[in-house]
Chains A and B, each alone.
Chain A
Amino acid sequence: MVENKIPTSYNEALKILATGSYQVLNGGTDLMVRYRGWSETRVKFKKNMLHIHNLDELNYITSKDEYIHIGATTTHETILHHPLIPEIMKKCLRVFASPAIRNMGTLVGNIGNASPAGDAVLIAYLLEARLVVESLRHQREVPIEDFIKGPGSIALAPDEIIKEIYFKKLNFNATYFTKVGGRQSDAISKVMFAAGYRLDADKIVDIRIAIGAVSPTIIKDKTIEKSIKGYTLKNLSNQKSMILSQYAAHINPIDDQRSNKHYRKKVALNLLEAFLNDIITRS
């Protein structure tokens, strides 16, 4: 029979985690469904659970210098309505699940769950977010792309907790978010696309592209992005098909109950092409 503990402080949570035998339970929107048992029975968790959702110490959104920090127990709904949060995250959260799920689920929990179809995870990649991971032994920071190793797989030791996520404020001319799902709400994405860019006259000085639910982890390729920086709109137009083929090489979706790999790949590339066309036709 598993044990459950509700820590009264963050420090107590770290001490309990230091035993190495507890798993963090945050909003519960994924784990409560995954380990669901029969009605009127306890949830069938496989490990001892540490219920951190009520830790107010980790419920914060703050701004320091050029960075925005979001604590582990901050819910999606709080993030959605906060003035510091960039519009690209809000675009995503408005169509994320439903109001009730957004009041329970957290951004840090979405990342800990490490689904390739996690909507807010896509935006965390786009923002080039970093995670602050802590245990009684140490504190370390890790870029999101190094933290998420594959579907449901994260670089977190048994005694560690994700304390917060932080990212730099954006300075883009425009941002894009598209979620393709079976319905507008409560839908797990078939494909998701997010992007943004900044122009200086007709020159691209910054560009970011993230594509989700089409490979084991979110696609975000800094090498391709770097190669596009410095292009004029005319260069971009000339190089468009080459860029599309570079991304096509990364897009390796699966067939599942939500969609199939051919549809996913086609739609992902269409969304990318529409984004590039939109930049090109700005001129």
Chain B
Amino acid sequence: MSEKISFELNGQSITITLSPDHRFLDVLRKHLNIVGPKEGCGEGECGACSVLMDGYIVQSCILPLGSVHGKKIMTIEGYRETKRFKALQDAFLTEGASQCGICTPGMIMATEYLLSHNPHPTDEEIRHGLAGNLCRCTGYNMIIKAIKRAAKEGEGLW
């Protein structure tokens, strides 16, 4: 049975009439044409579908639409309009932290969550912060370098 679900998506108010037992990832990709979040594992382990909900990182492939009602969602599509994104983008490009790219939208959202709570993380703290995001290309070292670079060059943004 469908319900009216209202939430804010990248600053825009959205009301959608759908059954609350849809996966939020499918709602984004299929119904709202938001395709930055990717489906990797589909069971909350790889982080490719990560989005921010009220500022907290969540995995949209295991997030029921019912949990989104009344919340504020930010995906990479909204985040890319920010100065913080620009700092991350420059650092990821410089360090080669994005290769095949499928993990990158989730990795960027996880980095935003990390830096918004801890603007100057150590290597260890970065590894814990990105613990739910898998990358099969970089071996993670380039991503860690990129985040340290962004934290330094984007000083004051977080």
Q: Which residues on A are within 8 Å of B, measured CB to CB?
A: 1-6, 25, 27-29, 32-33, 36, 39-43, 45, 49, 51, 53-54, 77, 94, 97-101, 103-104, 184-186
Hey, which chain A residues are within 8 Å of B70, CB to CB? 54
Docked complex: B12-42 residues within 8 A CB-CB of A: 19-23, 26, 29-30, 39, 42
Any A CB within 8 A of the CB of B47: yes
Pick the contact of B22: A2, A42, A97, A184 (CB < 8 A): A42
**A104 to B19, Cβ gap below 8 A?**
no
Give the distance in Å from the alpha carbon of A103 to the alpha carbon of B131 in the complex: 13
Quick one: given A4-B3, A99-B113, are A104 and B20 in contact (CB under 8 Å)?
A: no
Any A CB within 8 A of the CB of B142: no
**B47 to A98, Cβ gap below 8 A?**
yes
Chain A proximity of B125: nearest CB distance (Å): 11
Any A CB within 8 A of the CB of B64: yes
Binds A, one of B50-58, B78-86, B94-102: B50-58
Quick one: given A29-B62, A53-B66, A54-B69, are A99 and B132 in contact (CB under 8 Å)?
A: yes
Give the distance in Å from the alpha carbon of A77 to the alpha carbon of B67 in the complex: 16
Hey, which chain B residues are within 8 Å of A45, CB to CB? 21
Pick the contact of A39: B26, B47, B58 (CB < 8 A): B26
Chain A proximity of B28: nearest CB distance (Å): 11
Any A CB within 8 A of the CB of B74: no
**A54 to B71, Cβ gap below 8 A?**
yes
Quick one: given A36-B42, A40-B30, A54-B70, are A49 and B21 in contact (CB under 8 Å)?
A: yes
Any A CB within 8 A of the CB of B59: yes
Hey, which chain B residues are within 8 Å of A51, CB to CB? 20, 64, 66-67, 69
Quick one: given A99-B57, A186-B45, are A42 and B62 in contact (CB under 8 Å)?
A: no
